[in-house]
């Protein structure tokens, strides 16, 4: 028979071990929550600066004030289409660059690419409804800003485990969640522009909040509890925002 005092010692050691494990788990959970909050704080600051600059662009000012012409909307739709067509492409490339130990994150990227896959068809329909032609669609090229934007996105997506692209996605999806409704209300005031000319923007105003929530849930993964990755996410968000502005500044400059 094992002496009673040894039993008590074993129980005490076992209890101490469980308490230590629980404390470690709690500390880890707390660190993840802290890193998530830190990332979101940085991204919101980047977004705020981006939104301010966005509202200074002539095409945006014209739209929000109800003064955008149909011809200028056509140019916007055609140029925007060149960027949107490649959206699912760079996300899929990023997913293929994620290594096997992060399959859960890879699956989230793939799911996100699937939701973006046919976005361009809606934008294409808007362009044609606004008076654009199939011929113009066939010969359309990226403008100078979109060339830079596309090159940047594919460059980042080709790196191993490109988790910093969360920053890029936050900026792009934020346009739907935080900006598209404001933009479409302005378009509704434009006398020559009809609702079937901008259903793409209306759709994203209504649905991108879900996408933002999915991105935020990804930040609860332990891999994001890393100071260097937090810096990389922030930088990628900043570069993405700058290049997004550039492509709007270069509308028609193909």
pLDDT tens column, 187-215: 999 999 999 999 999 988 887 677 788 88
Listed in sequence order, the residues at least 6 apart from 89 whose beta carbon sits closer than 8 Å to its beta carbon are 154
pTM: 0.85
Mean of the per-residue pLDDT values of the chain: 88
Higher local confidence (pLDDT), 88 or 115: 88
Residues with Cβ < 8 Å from 59, sequence gap 6 or more? Answer: 68, 72, 76, 248, 251
Residue 17: pLDDT over 80: no
Task: For CA atoms 22, 226, 87, 181, give the dihedral sign.
Answer: positive
131: left (phi > 0), else alpha (psi -120 to 50), else beta?
left
The full set of domain ranges for the chain reads 33-249
- pLDDT at residue 15 in the model: 39
188 to each of 24, 43, 101, 121, 155, how far by Cα in Å?
Answer: 55, 30, 48, 21, 37
pLDDT at residue 240, rounded to an integer:
98
The larger pLDDT score, comparing residue 217 to residue 31, is at 217
**Has residue 9 got a pLDDT over 60?**
no
pLDDT at residue 31 is higher than 90 = no
pLDDT in the model for residue 13: 42
pLDDT at 124 over 60: yes
Percent of the chain with pLDDT over 70: 88
pLDDT at residue 7, rounded to an integer: 43
CATH number belonging to domain 33-249: 1.20.910.10
pLDDT value at position 6? 33
Q: What is the DSSP string of 206-253?
A: HHHHHHHHHHHHHTTSGGG--HHHHHHHHHHHHHHHHHHHHHHHTTT-
Which of 197, 175, 209 shows the shortest CA–CA distance to 60?
Answer: 175
- Does 4 have pLDDT greater than 50? no
CA distance 248 to 41: 26
Which is more confidently placed, 253 or 66?
66
């Amino acid at each position: 028979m094992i002496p009673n005092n040894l039993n008590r010692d074993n129980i005490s050691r076992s209890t101490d071990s469980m308490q230590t494990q629980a404390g470690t788990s709690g500390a880890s959970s707390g660190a993840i929550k802290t890193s998530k909050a830190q990332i979101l704080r940085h991204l919101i600051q980047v977004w705020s600066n981006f939104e301010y600059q966005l509202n200074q662009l002539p095409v945006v000012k014209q739209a929000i004030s109800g003064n955008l012409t149909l011809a200028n909307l056509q140019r916007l739709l055609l140029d925007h289409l060149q960027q949107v067509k490649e959206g699912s492409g760079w996300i899929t490339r990023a997913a293929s660059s994620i290594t096997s130990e992060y399959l859960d994150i890879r699956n989230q990227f793939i799911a996100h690419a699937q939701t973006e896959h046919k976005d361009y068809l809606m934008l294409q329909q808007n362009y044609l409804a606004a008076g654009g032609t199939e011929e113009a669609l066939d010969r359309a090229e990226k403008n100078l800003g979109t060339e830079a934007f596309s090159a940047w996105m594919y460059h980042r997506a080709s790196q191993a485990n490109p988790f910093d692209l969360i920053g890029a996605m936050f900026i792009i999806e934020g346009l739907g969640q935080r900006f598209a409704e404001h933009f479409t209300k302005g378009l509704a005031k434009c006398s020559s522009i009809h609702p079937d000319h901008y259903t793409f923007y209306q759709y994203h105003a209504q649905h991108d909040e879900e996408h933002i929530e999915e991105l935020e849930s990804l930040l609860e993964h332990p891999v994001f509890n890393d100071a260097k990755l937090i810096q990389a996410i922030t930088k990628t968000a900043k570069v993405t925002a700058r290049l997004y502005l550039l492509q709007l500044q270069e509308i028609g400059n193909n």
